[in-house]
Amino acid sequence: SQIKTQTGTADWKFIRTVVQHLGSRIPILANGNIETLEDVRACLQYTGCDGIMSSESILEYPPLFTETQTPACDYRRTGPGRVDIAQEYLD
């Protein structure tokens, strides 16, 4: 099994610097500290990157990139639950 380790926070400032220097030549994708849809929006706005990658958070909460029309509160996801999503596909 995978042992979860603390990897620290993503350096969005560094990503923004890469975008400023190379963004006109190649697409730049950001990765790190993406736990909510609000994080996606904030990262895109702050860094100017072309897209977002997510691994742990998207596996933990598949509708991460879905507009749920409910804001995140205290870093808790407030969108549809896993059972609600599964039920939608079972019906």
Written as tens digits, the pLDDT of the chain (91 aa) is 455 555 668 899 999 999 999 999 999 999 888 888 888 889 999 999 999 988 888 887 777 777 665 555 555 556 666 677 778 778 7
Output the pTM of the full model: 0.67
Backbone angles phi, psi at 8, to 5 degrees: 85, -175
CA distance 58 to 39: 13
Q: What is the DSSP string of the chain?
A: -PPP-------HHHHHHHHHHHTTTS--EEESS--SHHHHHHHHHHH--SEEE-SHHHHH-GGGGS--SS--BTTB--S--HHHHHHHHH-
Instruction: Supply the pLDDT for residue 76.
Output: 58
Give the angle subtended at the CA of 86 by the CAs of 80 and 52, to the nearest 5°: 60
